[in-house]
Amino acid sequence: MCVQRMKIIHRDLKSANCLVDKHWSVKICDFGLSTIVMDSAVCNPTAVGTPEWTAPELLRNELVTDKCDVFSFGVIIWELATLKRPWEGVKPMEVSLLHP
């Protein structure tokens, strides 16, 4: 029997959506903006995540893959390493203008 894994793009992965239990196991929550990918990429201009953690292609309403969640995970790792909030001092709406 062949089992195919569903590809889900969270699109709002951020530290506030990562819950840690007493055994330091991390659980991801808040799948309100997530989408299931049937092809290799998806475009849904109706919703984006929190700008400070969101991949540039998602902010620009371009086609996205599950790699946009990898970008967000990288921002979370940066937060853990620096103990700082991403884009501190920049208004959320200005973040999209500063992304390359």
Catalytic residues: 12
Inter-residue contact 57 to 48 (CB < 8 Å):
no
36: which 2 tokens? 């299931």
Q: Which amino acid is at 76?
A: I
Inter-residue contact 42 to 21 (CB < 8 Å):
no
Gyration radius from the chain CA atoms: 15
Task: Provide the β-strand partners of residue 28.
Answer: 18
